[in-house]
Structure 1
Amino acid sequence: MTDQLYAPAGQCVPIVTLTSKVLAELRGWAAEELPGSEDQLPLLGAAFCEAIVGPWATAEQLRLPARMVIWTYAFDDYIEREVTELADLDAFLDRCRAVVHTGRRDDGDPLLASLSGWQQALSELPGYPALASLWEEKVDRVLRGHRYDWVVGAERERGNPPDAGVEEYLDHADSITLWMVHLPRWIAYGGDEVPKRLDVLAPALDDSSVAVRLANDLATIERERSEPGQNNVLMYGVSEDWVRTELANRIAAVEQRLAPLVAENFLPAVGLIRLTEWSVGIYVGNDMRDVTGTFQADGGSGA
């Protein structure tokens, strides 16, 4: 008899099958849009994540969300590893923002060009108009969070740690990019009811973002203490026990907010629970840069 801690093998087959379909498409896209990235392990992780979070969706419905996961990997690495001047960062973030807000194509580099094509495809989905303003707002917050982390990290490197407390850090937790990878799932396969349930879904995803940010920080602090330009909640005078308590509180808040919708088997709520469980579980005890290595596409922003 199989240990009950493990799912029966037969239950894993649909997930693996869906993962394989998503991965096949994702490899082709990455090879064309982000050259140099197509053989990286994150592609498999992204495809598997999509199948775990939305196992009821089709491979076609998971196509754009999976691409955004890979795009955010490359985006994060570019900002963290390649950008050395604030003016360059601001110019690049402004161009990303312009692509999302205006829909105008920017072929300045592979990151901007791939975002342009992706944004065009997203805007053509039936679910986009009702969530377009929320998408633009949350992308802005993700970009704001990345800028904050970069600026604070640069100041730390110069020996000028911020005066701000942990509350300000958590207010910029959207740098974990969970909104950028999950809102497209609502657009692609969430259904017509999502806009009517945002009063519950949106704050739950906010709590999930903080939870995943904290789980990531716990996993990466040993590496980030010795790396220049880093920003981590444990650099703000709080203990690991405090972080674990706050993490548990945020997970509990997600579950409590979504419980009535989960009881209705409202799939976007179920998916958000699965996303939280998966993302926190992946990060707890795992520094993903050690697991997957640095994700880099050829080129980089020319902004």
Structure 2
Amino acid sequence: MSSFDIGRTCALAVAGGRDLARTAARYDGLFPETSFDSGLYSSLALAGAFGSPWATVAQLRAINRASLLVFAVDRLIDEEATSQEEVAALVGECLAAGRGAAPASAAAAFVSDLRAELAAPFELEAAWLDQLARTLGAMAREWDWNRPDHAPGMEEYLANADSTGAFFIGLTHWIHTGVAESPGDLDRLRPAGDVVQRYLRLLNDLATRHREAGFGDLNAFTLGMSPGEAHERICALAGEAAELIEPLHAAHPRAAEYLTWQLHYSAGFYGLSDFWAPEAA
């Protein structure tokens, strides 16, 4: 990127971060300041902007807000839910709102508003809702795995990487910006997106393992993986993802660039930080 391009992309991120702060203020209690500080909004907006530097401020609203939704629901499940019934109720409220029902909670209202922002045709809205269900279902499954005697095997854990929300966020963006024009386009992008999700799952676990140890959260390391094994698996997943991304450049160049950026940007970002506010650590 040239200096001009970097400056423009940073301006996109500034606008995006401000939009996220204004958006969060509309949902009472959903974004407590102890977890959602200005740095988190800026971090999400930077990720969105540098992932698609060709986009406009308006085109980045959906990806930024989808990212924020993932963080909001993840916090509710990890920090506030005390039973399977509470988790199931939250998931049900969000999915109902995604189908057009009146929102029953602040999180559901956010889903409803994101659906309206997306303004997708029926077949793509159905694909979006399906991925939202996969993401929320994976989050709920991880909550269950945190209970005694419910821990999964390592491969089962990695296969549940929809819990990161990464493919949901990318899918939202591709629908909103017209990169994906049909469910078939999303099907072609899914194999690479799934591998990138597993890569990001391990990368996040590696970066946040000391913080999560204090909470007793489930991750690759509580399941027995060593840092050395994680590095080896991360490198293998990066190679696998690159192979799957390569043929996408012809028909879906922007999606391919986005997925490639996810691999490299995330490695650099998690090398120094992560998204949550220090008070949440």
Partner of 1:152: 145
Distance 2:252 2:188 in 1: 14
Distance 1:276 1:167 in 2: 20
User: Normalised by the size of structure 2, how large is the TM-score?
Assistant: 0.88
Counterpart of 2:101 (choices 104, 109, 112) is: 104
User: Are the equivalent residues in 2 in contact too, given 1:97–1:139 (CA < 8 A)?
Assistant: yes
1:254 aligns with 2:248: no
Q: CA deviation at 1:54?
A: 0.7
Task: List 4+ stretches of structure 1 deviating above 6 A.
Answer: none
Partner of 1:217: 205
Partner of 1:300: none
Q: Which moved more, 1:34-43 or 1:173-182?
A: 34-43
- Once the two structures are superposed, residues 30-51 of structure 1 have per-residue CA deviations (whole angstroms, 9 ceiling, x without a partner) of 2223565585321111111111
Partner of 1:22: 16
Partner of 1:226: 214
- Report the secondary structure of 2:215's partner residue: coil
Distance 1:30 1:20 in 2: 16
Counterpart of 2:115 (choices 112, 119, 124) is: 119
Counterpart of 1:274 (choices 261, 265, 270) is: 261
Residues 172-211 of structure 1 mapped to structure 2, 5 A cutoff:
172-191=160-179, 195-211=183-199
User: Are the equivalent residues in 2 in contact too, given 1:179–1:209 (CA < 8 A)?
Assistant: yes
Partner of 2:47: 49
The RMSD of aligned alpha carbons is: 2.4
Amino acid at match of 1:220: T
Unpaired runs of at least 5, structure 1: 1-6, 296-303
Percent of pairs with identical residues: 26
Distance 1:150 1:79 in 2: 7
Q: CA deviation at 1:285?
A: 5.1
User: Normalised by the size of structure 1, how large is the TM-score?
Assistant: 0.82
Q: CA deviation at 1:153?
A: 1.3
Distance 1:285 1:60 in 2: 29
Counterpart of 1:283 (choices 247, 270, 276) is: 270
Q: CA deviation at 1:190?
A: 3.7
Distance 1:143 1:23 in 2: 24
Q: CA deviation at 1:241?
A: 1.8
Partner of 1:80: 78
User: Are the equivalent residues in 1 in contact too, given 2:93–2:105 (CA < 8 A)?
Assistant: no
- Report the secondary structure of 2:221's partner residue: helix
- Once the two structures are superposed, residues 67-97 of structure 1 have per-residue CA deviations (whole angstroms, 9 ceiling, x without a partner) of 1211221211111111111211111111112
Q: CA deviation at 1:171?
A: 1.7
1:138 aligns with 2:169: no
User: Are the equivalent residues in 2 in contact too, given 1:42–1:70 (CA < 8 A)?
Assistant: no
Distance 1:23 1:29 in 2: 10
Q: 1:196 to 1:175 in 2, by over 3 A?
A: closer
Partner of 2:280: 294
Amino acid at match of 1:217: D
Structure of greater relative contact order (alpha carbons < 8 Å, 6+ residues apart)? 1
Q: CA deviation at 1:146?
A: 0.9
- Report the secondary structure of 1:131's partner residue: helix
Distance 2:37 2:274 in 1: 20
Unpaired runs of at least 5, structure 2: none
Q: What is the count of residue pairs matched by the alignment?
A: 277
Distance 1:103 1:129 in 2: 12
User: Are the equivalent residues in 2 in contact too, given 1:215–1:284 (CA < 8 A)?
Assistant: no
Q: 1:280 to 1:99 in 2, by over 3 A?
A: farther
Distance 1:73 1:115 in 2: 12
Q: CA deviation at 1:235?
A: 1.8
